[in-house]
Structure 1
Amino acid sequence: MRVLITGAAGGVGSSIISQLRDTGLEVRATCRRPDPQRWPWLQTFPSDLNQPHTMRQALEGVETVFLYSFAQRDSLPRLVEEMKAAGVEKVIVLSTIDTTRHEPFVEYNKQRHLEVENAIAHSGFNAVCLRPGAFARNAIRFWANQIREHRTVGLPFPESQQAPIADEDIAAVAVRAITTSQLDGEKIVLTGPSSLTMRDQVGLISQAIAEPIGITELSEIEARALYGQVLPPEYLDLLMGQWAFETTEKAVVAPAVHDITGHRPISYLDWAIDHRDAFL
């Protein structure tokens, strides 16, 4: 079977590629600027999901696609057409837990991902939708520079709770969807093993790097100025609302990673230890 992994340079995509290496499948990979030296054992193609014609060569003869779901609304019909013309049968969509929520602040993210899910499901593909919650690697995006430079993290809502999931666990479920029929037609919420406050998460990173990390509590104005350096406005609005809401209750902890793969999800401390160099 020939498989195409889109968004291959990202954390989930690259982990799927690593986990598929010894399966005997013919794996292809696409991203905007692939590095052919990174995976010399597979074919890589430059492409852009928002320009579906750039996917044509990579899709030739492909039966299953892992779809990094950030194609824009106007591009989706043409992307579906390219996949159908190539004979693709199954599509695994990387979506979000926000598709299951109803709070106003998730609406932008929810609708954006539902558009992709629905475009795939309604086009006759065998669809599997993976709906992860907070990514553990968000800590690198949001906090790594602060920790490296100041050994301090600015937080607007230190008691906000998430259940961060490692890319490798999302990838392990995706690999099961690619290699078996076990998850066909399913929409699966994926989380890490524990609900942790942001204060807890910073503390575990501190433990991983064996150095103290301070926490500075920020006003929303200060937080918007800080996190606006790495987030576009629509996601900044989402996260400010979401983090405030998440101070009111523990995060959802779903059993799917263990149920599907047979192993316990990677703990946040183990993830932090594996990625400690990002914070040093």
Structure 2
Amino acid sequence: MTILVTGSRGRVARTLIDLLHAQGRPLRAGSSDPGALDPPGGVPAVRCVLDDPGTFGPALAGVSSVFLYAARSPGSATAFAEAAAAAGVRHIVLLSSSAVLEPGAADDVLARGHAAVEAALRAGPVPATFLRPGDFAGNALQWARSIAATDSVRLPYPDAYTVPLHELDLAEVAAAVLTSPEQYAAPAYTLTGPQSLTFREQAEIIGAARGRAVRVETVSPAEWKSASAIPSAYADALLTSWRTHPSPLPTTPPLTPTPRPFTTWATTNAPSFAPTTAATP
């Protein structure tokens, strides 16, 4: 009954591994670079590269369930599902995205890939459940360097709304679906945090958690894109999403007993935003 967790260097996968290990579940951590992993004691790390089917056999040997993280293409998802079926895997839980449900998803670079991978697994030989989170609370870590150095963050749409989801809530849902599939029989679950917040409100919450206010400076989309390290097509998709969400977004019914608000995430991660000596009083 071993569970393979792919993408094990990611925040969600690492959190999931810790949860499953604490439950005493037999585990295997998969990564393109297993030597870089530091899993809990007794959890083996194996090489699993979704673009390299040659790594699938050893990673899937003796595995009953898989947490599939960031399948790169429908072709790689199809090959992985076929290898999983041959290895006797009975269930795949895919980390997808709620972007697949947005209007115009077929033309959106962020949604299109997720939708194609879902379709490949849906047609594949192993039953699959799709987890569709929206925005992660951890996305705010992209502001950490600026906030720590200048007490400010520069945003193109500071009053755009998101519904930030705590990564631990997502990991708890993934663990529940992996270990109790009979209780989670829906083909897909859309997951949000408990509160719809603007970026400005999130910055205020971070300021309160770090004990020092955060200024929000509005910049043009072009300025933000120029300063961003995000590939152009993805940056454009994000800008479009933010521009089209000027009002509070709906939340989904929680699948965890006590969904964590953004305040909880900000308090835990406050050290990442701690002022540096360069910060202006």
| TM interval, short-chain normalised | over 0.9
Amino acid at match of 1:147: I
* Alignment correspondent of 1:268: 262
**Residues 211-232 of structure 1 deviation map (CA, whole Å, 9 limit, x = unaligned):** 11111100111111122x2x11
Corresponding residue pairs, total: 272
**Residues 218-247 of structure 1 deviation map (CA, whole Å, 9 limit, x = unaligned):** 0111111122x2x11221011010011111
**Residues 155-178 of structure 1 deviation map (CA, whole Å, 9 limit, x = unaligned):** 111110001001100011111101
Q: 1:165 to 1:120 in 2, by over 3 A?
A: same
What are the equivalent positions in structure 2 for 1:74-89 lying under 5 Å apart? Answer: 74-89=75-90
Q: Measure, in 2, the Cα distance between the counterparts of 1:190 and 1:29.
A: 24
Q: Measure, in 1, the Cα distance between the counterparts of 2:81 and 2:107.
A: 26
* Alignment correspondent of 1:157: 157
Amino acid at match of 1:55: F
Displacement of 1:104: 5.9
Query: Contact conserved, 1:126 with 1:185, CA < 8 A, in 2?
Result: no
Displacement of 1:2: 0.8
Unaligned runs of 5+ in 1: none
Range moving further from structure 2, 68-77 or 198-207: 68-77
Q: Measure, in 2, the Cα distance between the counterparts of 1:196 and 1:208.
A: 16
1:93 correspondence with 2:91: no
Query: Contact conserved, 1:105 with 1:242, CA < 8 A, in 2?
Result: no
Displacement of 1:25: 2.0
Unaligned runs of 5+ in 2: 275-281
* Alignment correspondent of 2:248: 250
Indicate the RMSD between aligned Cα atoms, in angstroms. Answer: 1.6
Q: Measure, in 1, the Cα distance between the counterparts of 2:244 and 2:251.
A: 16
**Residues 87-125 of structure 1 deviation map (CA, whole Å, 9 limit, x = unaligned):** 111000000011111136962222211111121121132
Query: Contact conserved, 2:137 with 2:165, CA < 8 A, in 1?
Result: yes
What are the equivalent positions in structure 2 for 1:8-47 lying under 5 Å apart? Answer: 8-34=8-34, 35-47=36-48
What are the equivalent positions in structure 2 for 1:93-132 lying under 5 Å apart? Answer: 93-103=94-104, 107-132=108-133
Amino acid at match of 1:268: F
Q: Measure, in 1, the Cα distance between the counterparts of 2:129 and 2:78.
A: 18
Amino acid at match of 1:162: T
Amino acid at match of 2:125: G
Normalising by structure 2, report the TM-score. 0.92
Q: 1:126 to 1:74 in 2, by over 3 A?
A: closer
* Alignment correspondent of 1:238: 237
* Alignment correspondent of 1:170: 170
Partner of 1:124: helix, strand, or coil?
A: coil
Normalising by structure 1, report the TM-score. 0.92
Amino acid at match of 1:122: A
- Structure 1 stretches of 4+ with a deviation exceeding 4 A read none
Partner of 1:159: helix, strand, or coil?
A: coil
